[in-house]
Chains A and B, each alone.
Chain A
Amino acid sequence: MSNPMFKIKISGNQESLGSRISFSVLAVAGAIFLAALVVVMYYSNSFLIEDAKQNVSNQLTIAASSIDHNLLAVETAIENNEWLVMNSLDDEEKLYEITRKIVSDNEEICGCAIAFKPYYFQRRYFFSPYSYVGADSLIYSKQLGTEDYDYQFMDWFQIPFLLRKPVWSEPYFDEGGADVVMATYSYPLIDTWGDVFAVMTADYPLTGIVDLVNQIHPYENSFAFLVSRNGTYVAHKDTSLIFTHTVLSNALDQGYNELYEAGLDMLNSGIGYREMRMKGEGNKYLSYMPLHNKWSMAIVNSDMDVLGRSYIMLFIIIALMVFGLVLLYIFTRQSVKKKLQPLVLFTEAANEVAKGDFKYALPEVKTKDEMRTLRDSFAYMQDSIVKYIADLKETMGAKERIESELRIAADIQRGMVPSVFPPFPERNDLDIFAVLSPAKEVGGDLYDYFIRDNKFYFTIGDVSGKGVPAAIFMAIARSAFRYIGASAESASDLMTKLNDSISQGNQSNMFITMFAGILDLATGDIQFCNAGHNPGVLISPDGKAEYVEVKNNLVVGVMDGFPFSGQSMKIERGSTLLLYTDGVTEAENSVKELYSEERLQAFCSNNSFDTGEELIGALVADIKKFTNGEDQNDDITILTIKLK
């Protein structure tokens, strides 16, 4: 009891409990924070995008109306001079004059022409007075139409001519000037029959508009672009697109489907807003609206622009969250560790108790919680162990006492059964051998014999039961056999008196099966009496083995006054009478087969021995072989009597 079976390790376990709890708390808290964060971010971002959309839309509207205002100014300038032209239709000089006036009066107009359809003006094929601002800022005039420049097939003439409506041309580079991007407003003059006879034009440099567009930056990375009526880029952040791409060709080239869709809408003078998912670039947002002259303008801004600040905030929140969670983790761990402190003390206490110190004081727990309960249970366990050990000591002591007494009883009993062989060495007409093998330390079988008046008195018996009670009964029976046998006249007389003696006052209701006999050593006559015992085997000198026919009477010890009937027989010299108890015939093997009377008889028939000792030895071996290691469940007693 002094060596502990195991020692509870203090290190490691407690730490990991604290850590595990902290991790769980951390994980749950983290998950909750994240979920909340995601929701908040989602809604906040939606609002931001909505706001941006509104903001961009506003800026777009303002810019568009500013541009429209400029375009309208040009249109007005031309249209206001229509009446003047109409009144000067045959005055070549006057017409030149008008073009000059328009150019000089209007800063934004850098060229003006009045192009007549072929053969209209004085039957001349070409007639197109034209004035323009030269590189030196002076105004020059000239005839526009030449052999190399047949203006009737130029878009600026032909389109308003066919449509009978004023038209803004597609933008172009002014070849004469310093690479200025221009557009021309063409205003058809219609005669009384409704046909177009001339087209008034104003050349308008688009630098102002392009600059305005390029300066639109509602957000850091956002920009605006401008496309003409057929989709050609007029202004764009990426100047390589200008004049080379249309919005559709750009969209197809880059694979931006949403841009393509938006482009189609823009070309149809649509107003709209689209989200564009660009591979690897995040989301972009496109807001567009048409201009007065059927061109279209759009503003592009990106996720980062609109949500940039929001992402910064997100970053900060996440950083704070991580910091907070770390603190939470540390705090939880410390707290848990502190609360679990008593466990350390309990562990120490358990180790001490295991070592044998049952009185070791348990740590005090002041709180009324699970720790308290644990402490109380522990204390109860401690008390129980103490008590149990005390009980155990007492029982062990008692058991030892009983066992020692049993050993003494066994010794006494062994002394009561004759064990010296040969018992009558001086006689040579009697071969006696016996063996008594008890099932328990003290058994209930008995055998005994003595010689009186040249007669051999013998008995064998089996007490009902085992252990000390059977042994006591057996001792009484053996004593009675000797005492009564000393004066009995016959076997039946002996048995009757023996039965009376034992039956009287027999409260235990134990009984003995017995076989007693008196062998006349001179004649070979045997008087015998059987009291419920197994009949013995008579082996004649020629080796034949037969069971003795016995009357059963009644077992001894049951009924006081029972008259036992005796029997007699005569045996030849050289015969052996083998007596046994049912421990022999009822010896069991592993499959619950019994050794049986048949086997015993067969053994006796098939074997012959010179001495009883040999016979018994071989028989015991045979029984052992038969039982093959099974526990002996009854006393085995064998007695051989050979008359020589």
Chain B
Amino acid sequence: MNQTLKSCLYIVTLLAVMLCSFECFAQEASGRSNGNLTKVRFMPNWMPQAQFAGYFAAKELGYFEDEGLDVEFNFISQTSTKNPIDMLEQGEVDIITNLFVSAMVAATRGCDIVNILQTSQKSALMVVSRDSLNSLEQLSEMNVGCWRAGYYEIIDLITLGEGIFINWIPFITGINLYVFGAVDAILCYSYSEYIQLMLSVGKIPEERIIRMENTEYNFPEDGLYTSSTFLKEHPEVAEAFVKASVRGWLWVANNRDKALDIVMDVLEKSNVQNSNRYFQGQMLDEVLRLQYDNQGRRSFQPISVYDYSKIIMEFRRNELIDRYIEFSKMIWCPYRKELAKGFGYE
């Protein structure tokens, strides 16, 4: 064969290979890309409701897109026993929302889960009783309704911490156990079941309520989580997601009515039929309130090392977990300073 032809062929092949690998590299580098946007599978830890308004807004207003993300929302169904943490672990989803304590306990059990954003700064958990309730101790020997799926950790902690026997009655969803008088008290979240309760039985006197927010069990709740693997591979995606989410939440805080429009829209598209705008509005107001820290600022700061240690030690002491997870393994927040300023979106 001709020497020149061979060289050309060689060069062409080399170029082709280079182009291909370049292509692959490009693809690799941007992850699973969809045009110019990176696809992210996101799973909020409940069905569509105002609790996730910030994320809905980030999607609707194109904040995710601005950060180069194409976010796919995967909602769990009402009766499903599937758990967002399981889904994350199984690689079915990339980013989830969940409660801090649940994530922490899962991590101590070997689950690969890392906190990348802490939206809720306070506990929304409450106990509502049919009689007056001054301390958790009074729950001894009472039938208390609790969720079947999830949040065992806190239930166990309360039981052990208070050193009392509580007859937990698991329910799947709703407040009918309480309304029908089948339980003496019921656990509920201030932004969902509590509001539902008030809309079914009227205002409940404060002396029949204990808010965990006011007790030693005031643990932060809602936040964003992902796996350490994902973080290693796509830290910029995680950061982009957080940035867009913060931007979304800040917008929601300042545009209540428009945010509610977006929420109701998502509900309709997801065929959630048994809610109304008034209820979602009440939920939104409470969720936004829970985002305030002790200084009254919407800071989105992760849990402090001190509080983290306190909680994990509490659980350890009650033998609810069998090992410690280091703070740095659990909490990922390289953008503290920008976060404090709301990434400039305040």
Binding site for B on A (CB under 8 A): 147-149, 153-155, 158-159, 162-163, 167, 170, 173, 229-232, 241, 243-246, 248-250, 252-253, 263-264, 267
Quote the shortest CB–CB distance from A270 to chain B (angstroms).
12
Assess whether B180 is in contact with A167, with CB atoms less than 8 Å apart.
Answer: yes
- Contacting residues, chain B, for A231 (C-beta < 8 A): 199-201
Interface residues of B in 169-183 (CB under 8 A from A): 169-172, 174-177, 179-183
**Chain A binder among B16-24, B33-41, B273-281, B292-300:** B273-281
Q: Interface digits, B110-147 against A, CB 8 Å rule (1 contact, 0 not)? A: 00000000000000000000000000000000010000
Q: Assess whether B202 is interfacial by the CB under 8 Å rule.
A: yes
Knowing A153-B170, A248-B199, A267-B202, the reply to whether A162 touches B276 (Cβ < 8 A) is no
Q: Assess whether B198 is interfacial by the CB under 8 Å rule.
A: yes
Partner of A155 from B177, B202, B273, B276 at Cβ < 8 Å = B177
Number of A-B contacts (CB under 8 A): 78
Assess whether A248 is in contact with B171, with CB atoms less than 8 Å apart.
Answer: no
Assess whether B202 is in contact with A163, with CB atoms less than 8 Å apart.
Answer: no
Knowing A162-B182, A229-B179, A230-B176, the reply to whether A148 touches B81 (Cβ < 8 A) is yes
Assess whether A230 is in contact with B200, with CB atoms less than 8 Å apart.
Answer: yes
Assess whether A253 is in contact with B181, with CB atoms less than 8 Å apart.
Answer: no
Partner of B180 from A148, A229, A263 at Cβ < 8 Å = A229
Knowing A158-B171, A162-B169, the reply to whether A245 touches B180 (Cβ < 8 A) is no
Quote the shortest CB–CB distance from B174 to chain A (angstroms).
7
Quote the shortest CB–CB distance from B189 to chain A (angstroms).
17
CB-nearest residue of chain A relative to B281?
A: A253
Assess whether A153 is in contact with B172, with CB atoms less than 8 Å apart.
Answer: yes
CB-nearest residue of chain B relative to A155?
A: B176
Q: Assess whether B79 is interfacial by the CB under 8 Å rule.
A: yes
Quote the shortest CB–CB distance from A459 to chain B (angstroms).
127
Given known contacts A162-B182, A244-B273, A248-B199, what 14 new A-B pairs fall within 8 Å (CB)? A153-B148, A153-B170, A155-B171, A155-B177, A159-B182, A173-B273, A231-B199, A243-B273, A243-B274, A246-B200, A248-B198, A248-B202, A249-B276, A263-B202
B interface bracket (residues with beta carbon within 8 Å of A): 20 to 34
CA of A245 to CA of B200, assembled, Å: 10
Quote the shortest CB–CB distance from A562 to chain B (angstroms).
130
Quote the shortest CB–CB distance from A533 to chain B (angstroms).
121
Binding site for A on B (CB under 8 A): 79-81, 143, 148, 169-172, 174-177, 179-183, 198-202, 273-279
CA of A442 to CA of B169, assembled, Å: 141
Quote the shortest CB–CB distance from B144 to chain A (angstroms).
12
Assess whether A162 is in contact with B198, with CB atoms less than 8 Å apart.
Answer: no
Assess whether A158 is in contact with B182, with CB atoms less than 8 Å apart.
Answer: yes
- Contacting residues, chain A, for B278 (C-beta < 8 A): 245, 249-250, 252-253
Q: Which 4 A-B pairs have the closest CB atoms?
A: A253-B278, A162-B182, A230-B200, A249-B199
CA of A155 to CA of B171, assembled, Å: 8
Quote the shortest CB–CB distance from B322 to chain A (angstroms).
28
Assess whether A253 is in contact with B183, with CB atoms less than 8 Å apart.
Answer: no
- Contacting residues, chain A, for B201 (C-beta < 8 A): 230-231, 267
- Contacting residues, chain B, for A241 (C-beta < 8 A): 276
List 18 contacting pairs A-B, 8 Å CB cutoff, sorted by A.
A153-B170, A154-B172, A158-B177, A159-B176, A159-B182, A162-B143, A163-B180, A167-B180, A229-B176, A231-B199, A231-B200, A246-B200, A248-B200, A249-B276, A253-B276, A253-B277, A253-B278, A263-B202
CA of A240 to CA of B157, assembled, Å: 43
- Contacting residues, chain A, for B199 (C-beta < 8 A): 231, 246, 248-249, 252
- Contacting residues, chain B, for A155 (C-beta < 8 A): 171, 174, 176-177, 180
Quote the shortest CB–CB distance from B178 to chain A (angstroms).
9
- Contacting residues, chain B, for A163 (C-beta < 8 A): 180-182
- Contacting residues, chain B, for A253 (C-beta < 8 A): 276-278
CA of A246 to CA of B195, assembled, Å: 12
- Contacting residues, chain A, for B81 (C-beta < 8 A): 147-148
CB-nearest residue of chain A relative to B200?
A: A230
- Contacting residues, chain B, for A264 (C-beta < 8 A): 202
Partner of A244 from B143, B169, B171, B274 at Cβ < 8 Å = B274
Quote the shortest CB–CB distance from B76 to chain A (angstroms).
13
Quote the shortest CB–CB distance from B145 to chain A (angstroms).
9
- Contacting residues, chain A, for B202 (C-beta < 8 A): 248, 263-264, 267
Assess whether A162 is in contact with B148, with CB atoms less than 8 Å apart.
Answer: no
CA of A166 to CA of B183, assembled, Å: 16
Quote the shortest CB–CB distance from A158 to chain B (angstroms).
7
- Contacting residues, chain B, for A250 (C-beta < 8 A): 278
- Contacting residues, chain A, for B180 (C-beta < 8 A): 155, 159, 163, 167, 229
- Contacting residues, chain B, for A267 (C-beta < 8 A): 200-202
From A148, A248, A249, A252, name the one whose CB has the most chain B CB atoms within 10 angstroms. A249
Quote the shortest CB–CB distance from B332 to chain A (angstroms).
35
